[in-house]
Each structure stands twice: as C-alpha cells, then as structure tokens.
Amino acid sequence: MKIFVLIFLYCATSVAAATELKHSNFLNVSSCFSGPFASFDSWRAFLVDRKPGFSESMVRPHAKHEEAAQRKLYEYYRSNIVCENFDYLVDNVLVRGFYIAPARNTTNDRASGARSKLPLIIFNRGGNGDLGASTFGYIMSNFFPLAEQGFVIVGSQYRGFIKKIPNPTFFTNSPSLGEDEFGGKDLNDVLKLIELAKFFPHTDSNKIGMYGFSRGGMMTYMAAKQSHAISAIAVAGGVVDLARELSFRPEMEQVYKARIPNYAAQKEQALTERSAIKWAEKIPTNIPILLLHGGNDERVDVKNAKLMAQKLTELKHPHKLVIYEGDNHSISGHRREMQDELIAWFKEKLRN
C-alpha cells in the first residue's frame, strides 16, 4: 500500500482539547491529527498546495483506488492511534518531540477500560537540521503499525528544529533554540527521552528499546554506550565509521563542517567520537543489536553494517544482520519485511 509523504507543519497554538501528555515536562502539546492533518481531505489539500506534482500524480491509473485505500487507513489510525507533538527542555534548550501509542492496548483493556503498560521504543531520525525531520506521513507509515503491535514510540526532532520560542512569557528562564551538532550536544536530546520515559502514559520505563535510521543509527550507538536503561537497539542504514564513509560519499564532509563544532581543528577526534566501530566494545553486551541495511544503499555504504556485524562477532556481542539485497537507503522495496523484523525483534527483546 502506497503511503504519501508530506512536509511536517506544526502550530504551537493549535492545542488539542484532550491530550495524554499532561506532565509538566511536556510543553505545547498538540495532537498530530490537527491543523492540516485534522482530516484526510485537509491533508490531501495540503499536499496539493505544498508538494509540486502531487495533484498530477493523482490522475495516473489506479490513483483513485490508492486514495480510497489511504483515506480508509487514515480514518482507521485516527480512531485507534494516539499521536501527539510536544516540546521539552534539555539544557534549557527547547526541543520538539512526538509521542505515539495505541488508543487501547488489548481486547481485555478495551473491555475493562483499563490500559496496561507497554514497552517503549525511542526513535532517532536521520538527516541533519530540518532535513530528514519526522513528518506526519513518515510517522504514520512507519510508527503507527508499531504502536498497533503494542508499543509506545517517542522521538526527537533534535535541537535547532524549532525556529521560534512559542509562548515566551511562559518560561522563567528564557530557553534557547540550540543548533544541531550531529552527535554533539544534541545527543542529550535523545538521552533526555530516556529520563522522561516514566512520565509517558501507559509506558513501562523498565522496557526501553531504541531504533535509529541513518544518522539516527549513530545517535543510537552513542546513547547505548552511555545509558544503562536501554534493553535492545535496532539500526537501519546506519554509519559506523564516519571517516571511512567519506570515501563513499565525500559530500558529507560539508555537513560535518557545518554541524560539528570545531570540526576543522578536531576532525579525527570528532569523527572517532561518532563512529561506533571505533568503540564497539564500550556498548554493553546485554544490549542486543539488530542491523538492517539496503544492499544497494546509495547514501550509506552497506559495508557499514557488514563491518559492524563482523566487529560484534569478534566481541561476542549478540546481534542479527539483515541485508535487503538490491534495496536503497530507505529500504523502500522491503518496507513491510523491515517492519516485521523490527516488531519481532522488539517483541522478543523487550517483552521477555
């Protein structure tokens, strides 16, 4: 089933009447199903307005059938999934995040009205700055299916994503917006979500998994090295050796120069600190690692996953390697298989 991806738009003033995130740690909470995403028709109109070529794509053969299927899926998720955007403070920097959970966990829960606590998966997005931010369409296609399987999913957009402080008079100490440091201080934005786990509704804070895609794989490895609260991790399309990767994709050095503080003066140190294969022995062996990668990844060399698997084998670190032959960076040709792999992995590692 084709999922349409769109640009994420957040309105801090559009707060849902009833939200699940009520603790004081969560600021400016609003439903994902608000603003341009309040209905399927408004979402589609937003796409037509903002995404060049979208309206033309809807006249191709089978487009109406696809639109009907997408409408049905949207309405189903709107009734069965809780999705909320929120802001949170890290080092007095205001950071944007999202929270996803099933509206009712099990048949027994629906019958009794109670809700049991569920394992938590923290997602670390790819990209840098605004590029690669988790959009409504991306969240719907990738995380609503996981929530349906009995997980709570939260994620950070990383510092620097917010461009203006909403409701500035609300804060005693005026927070800053911060900047994405590509594995620098922004790592605290991820670690803070672990600290906040006990405040997310319906969440078992003793069962925390972490999933990173692309750049998020780097963030996941770095967090696993520092935190003892993570029980299992999964990495898709992740870089494990940033210096080596420059020979595969030289243009990434421009990202490093722009994002990593003091990069020119401390290049080797900065890349080593962000390269998990250089310190894989520091990741606790009680954290099993799932490695997923497209065999024809055009953005991150598939050798990253293979070399990491080899290193983990040498360290006798529990892991599983899955290469989707011929597939791209997003593993779009095996989306369902990858989701099934993630669901099975976290069900086994977090529920037992």
Read off the pLDDT of residues 177-207 as tens digits, 9 standing for 90 and up: 999 999 999 999 999 999 999 999 999 999 9
Q: What pLDDT, on a 0 to 100 scale, did the predictor assign at position 173?
A: 84
Q: What pLDDT, on a 0 to 100 scale, did the predictor assign at position 115?
A: 67
Regarding pTM above 0.85, the answer is yes
Taking residues 168-175, what's their average pLDDT?
Answer: 82
For residues 43 and 8, is the Cβ–Cβ distance under 8 A? no
Task: Render pLDDT for 225-280 as a digit per residue (tens, 0 to 9).
Answer: 999 999 999 999 999 999 999 999 999 999 999 999 999 999 999 999 999 999 99
pLDDT at 67 over 50: yes
- CA angle at residue 228 from 92 to 162, to 5 degrees? 25
pLDDT at 57 over 80: no
The DSSP bridge partners found for residue 85 are 30, 98
Alpha carbon distances (Å) from 225 to 13, 246, 275, 278, 281:
38, 24, 12, 12, 9
pLDDT at 289 over 90: yes
pLDDT at 5 over 50: no
- Give the DSSP H or E segment for 346: helix 335-351
Q: What pLDDT, on a 0 to 100 scale, did the predictor assign at position 19?
A: 82
Q: What pLDDT, on a 0 to 100 scale, did the predictor assign at position 3?
A: 35
Q: What pLDDT, on a 0 to 100 scale, did the predictor assign at position 1?
A: 35
How far apart are alpha carbons 238 and 306 in whole angstroms? 11
pLDDT at 131 over 50: yes
The H helix count followed by the E strand count for the chain is 13, 9
pLDDT at 59 over 60: no
**34-38, 92-96, 104-108, 326-330: segment of lowest average pLDDT:** 104-108
Torsion angle in degrees (nearest 10) through CA of 44, 48, 52, 56: 90
pLDDT at 106 over 70: no
Domains of the chain, each with CATH number or no CATH: 27-32+81-351 (3.40.50.1820)
**Cα 155 off chain centre by:** 5
Q: Name which residue leads in pLDDT, 8 or 59.
A: 59
**Burial classification of residue 108, based on how many CB atoms lie within 10 Å of its CB (0-12 exposed, 13-18 middle, 19 or more buried):** exposed
237: phi > 0 → left, psi -120 to 50 → alpha, else beta; which? left
